[in-house]
């Protein structure tokens, strides 16, 4: 997890930056287009966000993440609650910058692993994907882009709060409002896909999805085992649904897993069948257990870089199977301008293929990044929970050449911070700014939200239900990361038994099936605890 440690040799820089900020030189991020360069001057960055004095990105003085990763400061707290708890130090620049992420695969795979009778490997647990697996009630913007909601509450540990940064896109439109889709399905038919809950789930769900797509949508199908083959070129659905159904029905597991060949052939097929004015997307369905050919994610991505950059083809990864190549699939999605999810049963598969994918084919934002500027007058230290693989150098926040995240309509993105406030602090706490590119014009836009210190006075377990659910999901992920080299107990972390009780009550209150499943997963983890 991202920790705000610093070297002794960097303390002077941190002090200078804090003094500069206290002098009022940290400015609010500007809203809207910032010009051709993608960089805005400090003078141009001022805006009144309606939330008190603002703090916006200052020139970064860190190692590129906005928060230091090594070394230990004399300012570390001496609290010994839990293992390594309190292992924090002030950030030298009070900035945190990351690419947006709507992935949920880590949480889905953890649930599957727990249901199979054991805890997931800590390296597969990504807290942001746990948090982003649950519905939020953020206000939605009227048009394209994002709304920004910033709130928080006090934890059970003195001076520590959880601060939630919530970003939401417009509600997904009606069926006829989105542009047509050109979907290239790249389907793993290797021998391992014969296991129940893999290829059989994919075939059933793809068949149902084919009937739900519009007549003006197009579908292509590529299969791969030891080699890759285009079994159906890009085909308009209107009078050709039977062709698609036949191609799906004929899928059978065969040999080894040459995932690299599948991805390359999939993108080549997508380019060949490219439709102007449509959403062109590759959908990879695999257990990602690559064992033949190119098995390195970066190498695979290099081979398809032209298709991604020149044609804007995005990737949607769907993971399946009890044994699952989580790291490879996540890397492909994160660096392949896309996102990933995991399905473990028929209900999950129907939801992903038949509801989520058709509903969210459209894109609202490309290369979306967020930057949170904490006020050094009120904040002593902070820590971003998760997003380990999505950090962006602070200086690159407004560099639109730097990769961000792709987000569609109907999505929410949540980032949770552990924040230690200064004693008796009052006033401005943080400014959160999101920056994105319009999917069509590639014009940059920004939106900001503010948080005042009094807004985090409420106790966490008295806070609104959705904030409590966010906290439970983060604490659960944190508990499952025990044993990972980067693991540090979150401030105020309850035991798994207490966390299960919290989740159970929230499930009753919200009548949310997903929260009930969360409670069950926590109970299972508690039973398997060492």
Report, as an integer, the average pLDDT of 72-89. Answer: 38
Global confidence as pTM: 0.81
Structure tokens given for 222: 């590529």
Query: At 29, is the secondary structure helix, strand, or coil?
Result: coil
More confident residue, 86 or 179: 179
284: pLDDT strictly greater than 50: yes
- Are 225 and 269 spatial neighbours (Cβ–Cβ below 8 Å)? no
Among the residue ranges 54-68, 269-283, 452-466, the one predicted with the least confidence is 54-68
pLDDT value at residue 174: 52
pLDDT value at residue 21: 40
Report, as an integer, the average pLDDT of 362-372. Answer: 93
288: pLDDT strictly greater than 80: yes
pLDDT value at residue 92: 56
What confidence tens digit (pLDDT) does each residue in 16-49 have? Answer: 333 334 333 333 333 333 333 333 332 233 233 3
pLDDT value at residue 307: 78
pLDDT value at residue 173: 67
Share of the chain above pLDDT 90, in %: 61
What confidence tens digit (pLDDT) does each residue in 390-419 have? Answer: 999 999 999 999 999 999 888 999 999 999
More confident residue, 256 or 508: 508
pLDDT value at residue 500: 97
Q: How confident is the model at residue 360 (pLDDT cuts 50, 70, 90)?
A: low
User: Of 366, 461, 382, 473, whose CA–CA distance to 421 is shortest?
Assistant: 382
pLDDT value at residue 530: 59
CA distances from 335 to 91, 298, 304 (A): 27, 8, 11
- Distance of alpha carbon 167 from alpha carbon 355, whole angstroms: 22
425: pLDDT strictly greater than 60: yes
376: pLDDT strictly greater than 80: yes
Q: How confident is the model at residue 439 (pLDDT cuts 50, 70, 90)?
A: confident
Share of the chain above pLDDT 70, in %: 81
pLDDT value at residue 171: 87
What confidence tens digit (pLDDT) does each residue in 140-152 have? Answer: 998 889 999 999 9
214: pLDDT strictly greater than 80: yes
74: pLDDT strictly greater than 50: no
- Are 371 and 54 spatial neighbours (Cβ–Cβ below 8 Å)? no
- Distance of alpha carbon 488 from alpha carbon 477, whole angstroms: 11
166: pLDDT strictly greater than 70: yes
- Are 435 and 405 spatial neighbours (Cβ–Cβ below 8 Å)? no
Q: Are strands 338-342 and 314-319 parallel, antiparallel or unpaired?
A: parallel
pLDDT value at residue 75: 34
479: pLDDT strictly greater than 50: yes
- Distance of alpha carbon 524 from alpha carbon 56, whole angstroms: 43
User: Of 144, 228, 224, 213, whose CA–CA distance to 182 is shortest?
Assistant: 213
């Amino acid at each position: 997890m991202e920790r705000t440690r610093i070297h002794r040799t960097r303390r002077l820089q941190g002090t200078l930056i804090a003094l500069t900020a206290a002098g009022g030189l940290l400015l609010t991020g500007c809203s809207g287009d910032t010009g051709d360069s993608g960089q805005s001057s400090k003078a141009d960055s001022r805006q009144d966000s309606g939330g008190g004095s603002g703090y916006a990105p200052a020139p970064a003085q860190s190692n590129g993440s906005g928060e230091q990763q090594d070394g230990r400061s004399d300012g570390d707290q001496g609290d010994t609650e839990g293992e390594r708890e309190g292992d924090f130090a002030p950030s030298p620049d009070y900035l945190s910058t990351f690419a947006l992420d709507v992935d949920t695969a880590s949480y889905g795979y953890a649930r599957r692993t727990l249901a199979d009778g054991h805890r997931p490997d800590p390296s597969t647990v990504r807290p942001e994907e746990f948090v982003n697996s649950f519905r939020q009630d953020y206000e939605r913007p009227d048009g394209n882009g994002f709304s920004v909601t910033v709130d928080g509450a006090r934890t059970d540990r003195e001076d520590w709060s959880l601060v939630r940064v919530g970003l939401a896109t417009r509600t997904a439109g009606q069926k006829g409002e989105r542009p047509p889709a050109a979907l290239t399905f790249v389907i793993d038919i290797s021998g391992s896909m014969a296991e129940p809950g893999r290829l059989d789930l994919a075939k059933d769900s793809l068949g149902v999805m084919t009937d739900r797509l519009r007549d003006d949508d197009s579908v292509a199908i590529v299969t791969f085992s030891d080699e890759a083959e285009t079994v159906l070129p890009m085909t308009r659905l209107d009078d050709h649904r039977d062709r698609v159904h036949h191609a799906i029905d004929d899928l059978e597991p065969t040999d080894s897993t040459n995932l690299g060949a599948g991805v390359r052939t999939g993108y080549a097929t997508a380019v060949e069948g490219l439709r102007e004015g449509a959403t062109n997307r590759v959908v990879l369905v695999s257990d990602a257990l690559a064992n033949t050919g190119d098995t390195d994610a970066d190498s695979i991505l290099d081979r398809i870089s032209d298709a991604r950059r020149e044609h804007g083809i995005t990737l949607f990864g769907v993971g399946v199977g009890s044994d699952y190549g989580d790291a490879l699939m996540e890397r492909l999605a994160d660096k392949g301008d896309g996102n990933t999810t995991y399905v473990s049963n028929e209900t999950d598969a129907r939801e992903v293929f038949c509801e989520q994918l058709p509903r969210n084919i459209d894109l609202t934002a490309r290369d979306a990044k967020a930057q949170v500027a904490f006020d050094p007058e009120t904040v002593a230290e902070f820590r971003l929970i998760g997003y380990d693989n999505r950090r962006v150098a602070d200086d690159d926040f407004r560099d639109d050449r730097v990769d961000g995240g792709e987000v569609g309509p109907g999505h929410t993105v949540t980032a949770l911070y552990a924040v230690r406030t200064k004693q008796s602090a009052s006033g401005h706490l943080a400014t959160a700014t999101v920056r994105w590119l319009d999917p069509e014009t590639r014009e940059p836009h920004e939106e900001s939200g503010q948080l005042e210190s009094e807004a985090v006075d409420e106790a966490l377990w008295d806070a609104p239900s959705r904030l409590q659910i966010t906290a439970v999901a983060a604490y659960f992920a944190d508990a499952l990361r025990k044993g990972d080299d980067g693991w540090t107990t979150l401030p105020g972390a309850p035991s798994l038994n207490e966390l299960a009780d919290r989740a159970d009550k929230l499930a009753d209150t919200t009548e949310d099936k997903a929260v009930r499943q969360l409670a069950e997963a926590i109970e299972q983890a508690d039973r398997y605890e060492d």
